[in-house]
C-alpha cells in the first residue's frame, strides 16, 4: 500500500492560496448579497427616507443588531483581532467586558433620551442641545475621520485578499482611493 504523506510545508503552501472551494464560497457570498440588494431595491415597494433610515420603526432587535455589527466591524477588525489576541493574550477579554457593560448603560441612559425627543441621530441631538455650529463641528470631525480611515479600511482587506488569491489588481485598485488621487494631483501642481 503506497500512501503519500504531505509534508508540513506542502500543507502550508496549499493553505496560502485560494482553492476552488474558496472561490465558490466567495462568489456565492457576493451573489447572495447582490440578490438581496436587488430584491429590496426593486421589489420592496416605495422606500421613503424615514423607512430607509430607521426601518419604519418596526424592525426586530435581531436585524438591527446585525446591521449595527456589520457597520462597525471592518476588515481590519477581522484581520487584526486574532493578531491582537496572540500578542496581548487574555487582555482582549477586558475589551469584551467593556462592550457587555456598555450595552445596558446605552439602553437605559442614551436610547430613552433619543426616543423621548423623537430624534434618530446624534447630530440632531447636538443641534437641539447646543446649536447648529456644534452640529456642524461634529459632522466635520466625522468626515475628517472617515477620509483618513476609509482608505486604510479599503486597502488592508484588499491586500490580504490579493495575497490569498494571487492577484495584485485588487490592491492596485484599492490604492486609487480619493485620498491618494488627491495627493497625486497635489504633487503634480
Neighbours of 158 (CB within 10 A): 19
Q: Cβ contacts of residue 157 below 8 Å, gap of 6+?
A: 74, 75, 76, 78, 79
Report if residue 107 sits inside a domain.
Answer: no
Domain encompassing residue 9: 1-45
Report if residue 94 sits inside a domain.
Answer: no
Joined together, the cell numbers standing for residue 78 give 477581522
- What's the distance, CA 188 to chain centroid? 33
Report if residue 124 sits inside a domain.
Answer: no
Report if residue 172 sits inside a domain.
Answer: yes
Is the pLDDT reported for residue 165 higher than 80?
A: no
Q: Read off the pLDDT of residues 134-156 as tens digits, 9 standing for 90 and up.
A: 999 999 999 999 888 888 888 88
- Give me the number of domains the chain comprises: 2
**The pTM is what?**
0.61
Joined together, the cell numbers standing for residue 137 give 463641528
Report if residue 184 sits inside a domain.
Answer: yes
Joined together, the cell numbers standing for residue 94 give 477586558
Q: Which of 120, 127, 139, 114 is nearest to 55 (CA)?
A: 120
Report if residue 64 sits inside a domain.
Answer: no
Report if residue 26 sits inside a domain.
Answer: yes
**Residues comprising the chain, all counted:** 189
Q: Read off the pLDDT of residues 28-59 as tens digits, 9 standing for 90 and up.
A: 988 888 888 788 777 766 667 666 666 666 77
Report if residue 150 sits inside a domain.
Answer: yes
Amino acid at each position: 500500500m503506497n500512501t503519500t504523506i504531505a509534508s508540513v510545508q506542502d500543507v502550508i503552501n496549499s493553505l496560502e492560496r485560494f482553492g476552488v472551494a474558496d472561490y465558490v464560497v466567495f462568489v456565492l457570498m457576493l451573489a447572495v448579497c447582490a440578490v438581496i440588494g436587488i430584491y429590496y431595491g426593486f421589489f420592496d415597494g416605495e422606500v421613503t427616507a424615514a423607512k430607509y433610515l430607521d426601518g419604519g420603526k418596526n424592525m426586530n432587535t435581531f436585524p438591527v443588531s446585525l446591521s449595527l455589527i456589520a457597520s462597525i466591524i471592518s476588515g481590519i477588525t477581522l484581520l487584526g483581532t486574532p493578531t491582537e489576541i496572540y500578542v496581548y493574550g487574555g487582555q482582549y477579554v477586558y475589551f469584551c467586558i467593556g462592550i457587555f457593560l456598555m450595552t445596558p448603560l446605552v439602553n437605559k441612559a442614551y436610547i430613552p433620551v433619543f426616543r423621548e425627543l423623537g430624534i434618530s441621530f446624534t447630530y440632531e441631538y447636538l443641534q437641539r442641545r447646543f446649536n447648529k455650529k456644534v452640529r456642524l463641528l461634529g459632522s466635520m470631525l466625522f468626515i475628517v475621520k472617515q477620509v483618513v480611515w476609509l482608505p486604510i479600511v479599503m486597502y488592508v482587506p484588499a491586500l490580504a485578499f490579493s495575497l490569498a488569491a494571487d492577484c495584485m489588481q485588487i490592491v492596485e485598485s484599492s490604492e486609487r482611493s480619493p485620498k491618494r488621487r488627491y495627493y497625486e494631483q497635489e504633487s503634480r501642481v
